Structure 1
Amino acid sequence: MIIGIHMSDKQELQNEINNASTRFSSVIDAAFDGIITMDDKQRIQLFNHASENIFGYSANEIIGKSITKLMQKKFRSSHSNYIKQFADSDIQSRDMLSRVMIMAVKKDKSEFPVEITISKISINGKIEFTAIIRDISNRIAFIEKLQHQVNTDNLTGLYNRNYFDTQIKDIYHQYKRFGHSFCVLMLDLDKFKVVNDTYGHLIGDKVLQEFAKKAQEVLREVDLLVRFGGEEFIALLPNTQLEAAKDVANRIRNCISQQMVLSQNHEPVTFTVSIGVAEIATDDDTESIVKRADEGLYRAKKSGRNRVSD
């Protein structure tokens, strides 16, 4: 028996195949995410329009090249092993709920964060891999901006109390684990209300900004200066013992006593600071060391201001 396909049926089947291919190509090129297909030798076979925009390569430049061109150098040598493990596993894909964030590399060598999902398919006995890639640079930048706003004092540019609370917990855990001592400075501008009442809040703001700037110049990069509230500031000094912390506090006090800002009438406005110092003790927690520094500040104020006390 001879079975044949009528020419019109054959033409109709070919048209359906062509339409499906066109539809597939249109979807791939219109996709918001990058879509990259590679063979089992890590050679890129498909590179859609979104991938061109994301990575800066044209499809003609990158097709046939190794996928490792798009990843950080430190991961390139081990990528073939990862591909083999994935090929040999029963897992068909990492779905969108288990997206992995990695750093990818553009044509200009700049690195940027992406989310990636990977699937595999067998075609004529050979495995191909398809990666769907989403550039999340803007999302990460937005999150970092929000975190900065949450943790930063707008007036002085210093970190705020919220950030201090997280950092003192971290440094306290290090102390408990490794025994690294640390100190807390509680700083308060003397008679700040008089400055505000005499010259106005705009000048008071300038005093706060000048204080923050000059105090930071005295401190080390590893130290943390925070606006605690109003005219009160607090500093964390890692790997520091009491006498060294008192020396730092006195250098801040001396530096501040030499500063001034100009009033709206160009009058010099001077200011001083009182500082309480406390070193972590075995029976301390994060609250008690701050309380002891605050008690030292109270003693400094009571003894005449522009003083340092532990």
Structure 2
Amino acid sequence: METFSSIECFVRSAEVGSFAEAARRLSLTPAAVGKSVAKLEARLGVRLFQRSTRRLTLTEAGQLFLDEVSASLHTIQNAVANLASAEGRPAGTLKVSMGTVFGRLYVVPLLGEFLRRFPAINPDWHFDNRQVDLIGQGFDAAIGGGFELPQGVVARKLTPAHRVLVASADYLAAHEAIAGPDDLKLHDGILIRSPQTGRVRSWQLTSRSQQHSPLVLKARMTMSDSEAACATATQGLGIALVSMPFASGYLEARTLQRVLPDWYVDDGNISIYYAEHKLLPGKTRAFVDFIIEQFAEQGLTQRFSAL
């Protein structure tokens, strides 16, 4: 058991590059983690880390050992967690990352039903529009779109990530008619700044017949939030390109209407992400299956499609 604990200290330290951060996640002291790793090195007869004042770096032997033991460690931990679940039901703290507004609008309303089914699970939900390090930061799952898929992480599609052009009826009545994408360059744009890069992205419009055209609007203003862009567009201040999950409520309430409704931007998918394990923790499996089920039952895939 002591060797297992030492291996856990080693794997956590390797993942985060720090005894102090590993200690925080394991609820131990940095000295205890360092001592445990030193005992493991003495037992193996090799140095696993090159230590510096700033960061731990794996030696060649350390990297080989990590590759051999990390997957097995996670499998054992998940097996223990599943057996320890209350009366065989999924249990424990469920750490999930999701976009701020998307999570509030479409995931938080599902929380009551989720907890009725799985009362032994304790949600620990983080709202952030940036991609998190799912494994390194200890998240069980994340919901979002446009994320790179790191090694060891899998994604299940929830809905297409379509973006559409929207404006108020007052704006459209007061400005030049828009018959095609080329007419957009005469109109004020409410542009979205990427939370990842801080830059305004260039987009390509796609038609229902799969024609393509660059999107060109006059940059009247920029924002970092699609919900804010929608609220601004309702004031007749310009045309915004926003994700369907944010636009749909305004379109249904008729406070905004689509501009060039036969055109949209295909931005991939909104997916649920989780670490790939042979034995996925019961709490994670319950959450993933529940979210996929609810998105299907509520017709959100169709609602968020621009087609």
Larger Rg: 1
Normalization by structure 1: what TM-score?
Answer: 0.23
More helix by share: 1
